[in-house]
A = this chain, B = another copy of it.
Amino acid sequence: MSRLDDLRDEAALFDALGAMAAVVGAANVKADDATRERYARSTAARPVRPLALVRPADAADVARLVKIAAGARLAVYPISTGKNWGYGDACAVGAGQVILDLSRMNRIIHVDPELAYAVIEPGVTQRQLSDFLRERGYPLWADCTGAGPDTSYIGNIMERGFGHSPYGNRLQHVAGMQVVLASGELLETGFGHYRQARAAHLFPYGVGPFLDGLFTQSNMGIVTRLGIWLMPHSECVNHFLCSVPDHADIASVVDALRPLRLDGTLRSILHIGNDMRVFSGGGLFPRAAVPDGARLPAALRTQMRANSGVGAWTVSGALYGSTAQVALARTALRRALRGTRARSTFVSERSLRAGDLAARLLGDTAVGRRLRARVALGRSLFAMNRGVPDGRFLAGAYWRRRTGLPAGFPLHADPARDRCGLLWVSPVLPLRGADMLAVHDLAEAAFHKYGFDLFATFSMINERALGGVLTIAYDQDDAGETARAKACHDEVFANLFEAGYIPYRVGNHAMARLDPEGDSYWRTVEAIKAALDPAGILAPGRYQPGVAAGLD
């Protein structure tokens, strides 16, 4: 709830913003229309105008700002870099809140090369940490996502995002958070609240109740710092791509891979994407060939698959270890897939170099172009495996955009600025082929009904579950398409939810849907929230279905 309605006097609001400016400097408080408009941009076509924008320099600033907000009964909404594409971007759940933009807090406070971790602030981006480690010569990689180089590590971890490497279950690789509470108090989790502690970033649990989880997907506090574990360079990395020609055949491939994920042969997070995911990474929706408002016709889709040599599904993942360990894993993978219809390719440094050479020899021929595209994809995947982020995996967001990719893509790609339409439904399902087909089919029925191409990725987020990311890419400049996209999202969400495939994460537009039955889990969350933030100052409505319902 915005407390703005409660303000008897506009003067009190100006006083509060003035007090905030005294903390962070006038240049770091903005309430002009252009700024508010910019922060209201949303790929989810749900623009939410903030009251103002404030940019603190450090945790002490954040604590002071929270106290000022509490005094003025203003809601504050922290964002790290505000690039939560498809889930709400930089927007608060409700209008009229003060956005606390933490992007100035971008210090890499410490890196320990021996014990392989870093201590970072919320403004630290994937690109920044990756560059820092490389430039200083630390033999460490940070886990990387495809969400783009300018996204925040902490922002993603707070949403329990996942990456690609053996450290892809990111929350499991966090130790020691610093949190500003609604009271303005600074909390250190783990052992960090003991000033003399030597394992503050080495052992997450500390002693006593383990609180870290409470501050993820929540509005219980503002995380201003954390310890993130990094992966030591491994001698050898191979990327494997495994193509499955026909849709239904993916089920047996999933079931064949499950034992290898369970027994630790596959330690990184495998991603299983459909053909649309591959097409959208390499091109745009062929509007010219398709009736207005329609999705890709089946015949054209089949033809595109054939042209680009893409299967209905592609499994993508990385193997890490010594050369001998990776070779063993390759053998185990090949053996596991023997009875299936999957065709595997392993991408190594050497094969990329050979591909480069061959593509150059083939020149500007069809085969040469295809090979070059593959080598470029391989290079991007390979870089990501080693913690170097790449914007190219954001291309899918631009799929339905009438004006295509912006100049200079993918450097500094910004789907919200570029008015891309993007909505995600992210169900968790048992790591079983049958469940994957069931989720796909439920989603496909709704996507078909509303005329959207289903972009589907299923990721092995742990050894027993798949995290699905079902993307509705639409054109925000087309009002009818936007309305259809929202209806499609709601129907897919509802159908999957009812079928027991609950999302691992939701957008601002779906917060209110999380507690249809008023259950004891959400009542418990409310009780804790009331204890830690009795005035409801912090991010009201965020993973707080009861409050969010009133803000819609």
Tell me if A194 is interfacial: C-beta within 8 Å of chain B: yes
Is the Cβ of A205 less than 8 Å from the Cβ of B171? Answer: yes
Is A206 in the interface zone, CB < 8 Å from B? yes
Chain B binder among A147-155, A208-216, A373-381: A208-216
| Residues of B close to A214: CB separation below 8 A | 209-211, 213-214
The CB with the most chain B CB atoms within 10 A, among A171, A264, A501, is that of: A264
Whether A196 pairs with B521 at a CB distance below 8 angstroms is no
Q: What residues of B have a CB within 8 angstroms of the CB of A328 in the complex?
A: 322, 324-325, 328
Q: What distance in Å separates the Cβ of A88 from its nearest Cβ neighbour in chain B? A: 15
Asked if A504 is at the interface of the complex by the 8 Å CB criterion, the answer is: yes
A213–B211 contact, CB under 8 A?
yes
Contacting residues of chain A (285-339) with chain B, CB-CB under 8 angstroms:
320-322, 324-325, 328, 332
For residue A93, give the distance in angstroms from its CB to the closest CB of chain B: 13
Q: Which residues of B contact A522 (CB under 8 A)?
A: 193, 208
A109 sits at the interface (CB 8 A): no
Docked CA distance A148–B265 (Å): 31
Residue contact B532 to A528, C-beta cutoff 8 Å = yes
Within 8 A of B (CB), among A147-205: 160, 166, 171-172, 175, 181, 185-189, 191, 193-194, 196-199, 202-203, 205
**B465 and A262: CB pair below 8 A?**
no
Tell me if B203 and A504 are in contact (CB < 8 A): yes
Asked if A351 lies at the interface with its beta carbon under 8 angstroms from chain B, I say no
Q: A444 at the A/B interface (Cβ < 8 Å)?
A: no
CB-contact partner of A202 in B181, B212, B428, under 8 A: B428
Q: How far is the CB of A181 from chain B (nearest CB, A)?
A: 7
A499 CB-CB contact with B under 8 Å: yes
A427's nearest neighbour on chain B, judged by CB, is B199
Inter-subunit contact A199/B499 (CB<8 Å): no
Q: Determine whether the beta carbon of A205 is less than 8 Å from that of B532.
A: no
A35 sits at the interface (CB 8 A): no
Residue from the list B117, B262, B321 in contact with A232, Cβ < 8 A: B262
With A229-B463, A232-B259, A461-B203 as known contacts, state yes or no: A209 contacts B428, CB within 8 Å: no
Query: Is B525 touching A532 in the complex (CB atoms < 8 A)?
Result: no
A335 to chain B minimum Cβ distance, whole angstroms, is 10
A365 within 8 A of B: no
Q: Which B residues lie within 8 Å of A521 (CB)?
A: 187-189, 193, 206, 208, 211
Query: A179: nearest residue on chain B (CB-CB)?
Result: B524
Confirm or deny: A531 has a beta carbon within 8 angstroms of a beta carbon on chain B.
yes
**Can you report 8 residue pairs joining A to B where beta carbons are below 8 Å apart?**
A186-B520, A188-B519, A188-B521, A194-B502, A196-B498, A229-B464, A263-B321, A264-B267
Extra contacts besides A202-B464, A207-B217 (10): CB < 8 Å? A116-B262, A188-B519, A199-B502, A203-B462, A203-B504, A205-B217, A209-B216, A209-B525, A209-B543, A214-B214
